[in-house]
Amino acid sequence: MKRVNVKGISGSGKSTFAVELARRLELPYIELDALHHGPNWSEPTAEEFRTQVREAMDAAPDGWVIDGNYEGKLGDTVLREADTIVWLDLPFRVKARWLWRRSVHRIRGGVELWSGNRESWRTALWGRDALFWWMVKGHFRHRRQWPRRFAGDPRVVRLRSVEEARRWLDTTS
């Protein structure tokens, strides 16, 4: 394992898992959200984003752990290079609870995320782009699409519980 893409929806624990995996593998950690979200939640074009991600990957020639999805903009930029794809497919109730706790912590604490951005109750709860609505849609979309998309791909590790994820992580150290 030298090039790992950790996938899942918001609240699935991607970043926490990927940071720990990168630490255990002694590889650089690349967070796609940090590359994607500019000041005032601005977003790069697909071409700009692919270039940024490609540069981050090229800067780590001995391997990397990348957390995130973004195939709509990246296409197979990350997936093509990954030797391992970890899908954190935890139960909906677990992801919803984790997302709620994380959002409350970030909002109440005024935690700065990427490029000076901060979560707010509005961005978390209201509108069609709200974080919680995005999580609900993504949960069911991934469950419907990803099993077909990744069927037979030997690189894919689908982890369906917190305990299963912990056990898998323990096999990497």
Residue the block writes with tokens 């624990």? 13
CB atoms within 10 A of CB 113: 13
- Domain coverage including residue 7: 3-170
Cα 57 to its chain centre, rounded Å, is 16
Lowest mean pLDDT among 60-64, 81-85, 100-104, 154-158: 100-104
Chain segment 8-18, per-residue pLDDT in tens = 998 899 999 99
Q: What's the CATH number where 79 sits? A: 3.40.50.300
Tens digit of pLDDT for each residue in 19-65? 999 999 999 999 999 999 999 989 999 999 999 999 999 999 999 99
pLDDT at 69: 92
| Count of domains observed in the chain | 1
Q: What is the pLDDT of residue 128?
A: 72
> What pLDDT, on a 0 to 100 scale, did the predictor assign at position 129?
73
Would you tell me how many other CB atoms lie within 10 Å of the CB of residue 110? 9
Query: Average pLDDT, stretch 129-138?
Result: 87
Q: What is the pLDDT of residue 173?
A: 65
Mean pLDDT of 115-135: 85
